[in-house]
Chain A
Amino acid sequence: MKKSLVILTALLATVATASAQKLVIKGSDTLGAKLVPMLAEEYKAANPGVSFEIAAEGSTTGIAAITDGTAEIGMSSRRARATEVSGAAAKGVTMKPIIVCYDGMAVIVNENNPITALTKRQVEQIFTGDVTDWSAVGGKPGTYSIYTRNTSSGSYSDWKDLAMKKRDYSKTSQKMAGNEQIAAEVGKNPNGIGYVGVAYIKAPGVKVIPIDGHLPTKEEVLSKKYPYARPNFYYTNGEPSGEAAKFIAFTQSDAGQKIVEKIGFIPTK
């Protein structure tokens, strides 16, 4: 009888531990500010025993967390770099990228700015500092205020690759902590310009500028006509397993992709 009680207690403890499983997700602010918390809420509603720890401090931190083993899922708005992949492999970690949604990095200006279109070349000139005044691209005279993400952000490096031919940002550019901060600054500043994920283009006071005639719509992004389109990722160590695999499957499911679309990102299907 005594023995049976011990076994029962142990079994209950095991079940309790399993049912209180915590999923640690770290990385991109683009994904981690809105999308992943909302996915987590929905997932928790269906799986009450699961808790989440979400830290959105930039894609670099997400990829590093997979290498270090401090997270089950790393969120990233950019691809892992060669050094990150080979560095992880050296530690026995296999980087596994999983596309969870698409994003179009939108060029935003203040809604009172008369500019209605830009070319890729003009965008490069503005963000690198080759030109410093709106009149150089057909706007009202006034010095640009350029808002960018900070250096640990995947968007920061993706923008250099996609829009600036890997050149350096203008010395006058101001680094912001997240998409929301960029949108807020541009909304307040008539001479402001910045880039944000499509989930943030409805911020007050801003408007999206077409680039070479293309806007970051679902069709333009999926057809890859929009020049600044990119996939967003979860990274795991090898094929995902356990609760992480279930959460990733939920993200990729119809229900998950509906949330993706609701937040403003572009779903994979």
Chain B
Amino acid sequence: MAIQSLKWLALLGGVTLGSATLAVAQDSGPLIDTLVKKGILTDQEGEDLRVELLKDFGTTSPGKIDISSRVTKLTIAGDARVRYQYDNEEANPAGAADNRDRNRYRYRVRLGFLADLGPKWSAGLRFETASGATSTNADLAAGTDNFDKAGDVAYFGQAYINYKDTGILGADTVDVRLGKLPHKFFNPGVNGFWIDSDINFEGIAEELVFNDVGVKGSTLSVRAGQFVLNNNAANSGSTSAATTTVGSFSTTTGLPTTTTSSQNTTVDPSMLLVGQVEYATKKFKVAPTIVAFAAPSEHDRSATTAALQASDTAVYNDLATILVPFEYTMKLGAKPFAIYATYGFNIEGEDRAYRLASATTPAQKAAVDDDSEIYNLGVRYGENRLPGDYQLVAEYRHVGNGSYSSLLLDSDFNGGLLNGEGVILSGSYSLTSAITFTTTYFNSFNIEQTRAAGTSRGNGFGKAQVLQIDLSARF
């Protein structure tokens, strides 16, 4: 009896001292099996011990959390950041009167949950501060001066279902995402160049990955996305507009009869389509890409004439930009060093430039510089993983006024607008593996200096400078 008690005490004590977690309770299964096989415990003693360990686990903090049995694994992760930001923006052309100079104290929080629901399915959810597509920052004291919470709101930044498989169309891995989703497009640049890193697309994205294509260790990834930019539901109702009925006259006044009819009742959604083929080895990546808008020709009910519709900047068309992002990575000393670049050209750039400049007449169009090129070139040295690590980045960007869409561009460079070029310098230092200090400076200038200012976002700034000083925590 004494030996039995000692045996139990030793086993329970060892497990309890090690840790009182579920992992230990479950991992002790093989240990118990071995003890039973060696005859140290009887089968019944083994079973009693298993239950004892599991029962004890129920009294620990993690044991009190109940997660749905449908969830096979739950990952909780996120980050928090505090930022000082200085902005100086001058209207186009440079030197115009409305020079904006401001200091902001900002924060952001992102809290994500990823639930595996068996071997092929998972679902993701992420809460984010701020409602904008290209920003997750909330400003401190953005409301009144008494520390209210009006601006401190969490939004669903991501909510999607993910299916992963193998063997479909011969691919080694298949990834399909549906909902408001994080994308996988290769997009090198500070904060993402042609897709702002804060953007979570809405729609469906697919990826097929083929391993060892040509070179062992290489991957060929085929990616596509069909995203809804605007469901245009707001335009589903009809707008009454006065029209004159030809050949009809009032019997009382003798004047032509005026009636009302509906205008622009289309409800087709405006879509963003992205396709990318990436070939990657351990050292380089190249990924020819096309980004295109597919939109109904009539969008805005208030644009009741052909001229107004032609200059309606909310119409999502005139975009078919072909991009070729590239990155080469090597070791420089003990740290990684990368050169990256992207060259892109909008084959409908001329029409896009006209629309964004509201140029509808030949004279107006003649005054527009239809710059359809978008490109960047950058170098990156180091990485932020362990305490004491640092990273330095320098990048040049050029975004022509007909080259792309301000809906997608990095919002920190040139206000996320077209018609700008300039540099970005960034340095970051890891205080711990979770805490990073980062300083980033953006300096941009307009490309088309004589362009008249208008209401369109496509005009860009005359000059824009942004300084960001961040302290970030990942958890």
Contact = CB atoms under 8 A, between A and B. Distances in A.
Nearest to A168: B119
B41 to A, nearest CB: 12
A90 B37 contact: no
B74 interface: no
A95 B119 contact: no
Given A89-B58, A90-B58, A82 B22 contact: yes
Interface stretch (B46-54, B128-136, B260-268, B273-281): B46-54
A96 B51 contact: yes
A98 B45 CA distance: 10
Interface in B346-361: none
Given A99-B44, A231-B43, A83 B51 contact: no
Contact of B57 (A82, A167, A168, A233): A82
B466 interface: no
B405 to A, nearest CB: 42
A124 B118 CA distance: 17
Interface residues of B, number: 21
B48 A89 contact: no
B54 A82 contact: yes
Residue among B58, B59, B64 with most chain A CB within 10 A: B58
A168 B69 contact: no
A89 B43 CA distance: 23
B26 interface: yes
B220 interface: no
Interface residues of A, number: 21
A83 B44 contact: no
Interface string B57-69: 1110001101001
A9 interface: no
Nearest to B22: A82
Given A82-B22, A168-B119, A89 B55 contact: yes
Residue among A96, A98, A99, A268 with most chain B CB within 10 A: A99
A85 B118 contact: no
A98 B118 CA distance: 31
Interface in A79-103: 79-80, 82-83, 85-87, 89-90, 94-99
A99 B47 CA distance: 8
B25 interface: yes
Contacts of B43: 99, 231, 268
B58 A233 contact: no
Contacts of B59: 89
Nearest to B57: A86
B57 to A, nearest CB: 6
A129 B119 CA distance: 14
Contacts of B26: 82
A231 B66 contact: no
Contacts of B50: 79, 97
A224 interface: yes
B25 A82 contact: yes
Contacts of A95: 51, 55
A86 B55 contact: yes
Contacts of A233: 47
B51 A98 contact: no
Nearest to B54: A85
A85 B47 contact: no
Residue among A89, A98, A224 with most chain B CB within 10 A: A89
Nearest to B120: A168
A224 B66 CA distance: 34
Given A83-B66, A90-B58, A231-B43, A168 B51 contact: no
A253 to B, nearest CB: 15
A167 B120 CA distance: 11
Nearest to A224: B37
Contacts of A96: 48, 51
Contact of B58 (A86, A231, A268): A86
Interface string A215-238: 000000000100000010100000
Given A82-B26, A89-B58, A95-B51, A167 B119 contact: yes
Nearest to A90: B58
A169 to B, nearest CB: 11
Nearest to B48: A97
Nearest to A82: B54
A83 B69 contact: yes
Residue among A85, A95, A268 with most chain B CB within 10 A: A85
Contacts of B55: 85-86, 89, 94-95
Contacts of B25: 82
Interface in A185-214: none
A85 B119 contact: no
A268 B25 CA distance: 26
B44 A98 contact: yes
A179 B10 CA distance: 41
A102 B437 CA distance: 61
Contacts of B119: 167-168
Contacts of B69: 83
Interface string A234-269: 000000000000000000000000000000000010
Interface of A: 79-80, 82-83, 85-87, 89-90, 94-99, 167-168, 224, 231, 233, 268
11 contacts: A79-B47, A80-B51, A82-B22, A83-B66, A89-B58, A89-B59, A96-B48, A96-B51, A97-B47, A168-B119, A231-B43
Given A82-B54, A95-B51, 14 more contacts: A80-B54, A82-B26, A82-B57, A85-B54, A85-B58, A86-B63, A87-B66, A89-B58, A89-B59, A90-B58, A96-B48, A224-B37, A231-B43, A231-B47
Q: Which 5 A-B pairs have the closest CB atoms?
A: A86-B58, A85-B54, A89-B58, A97-B47, A89-B55
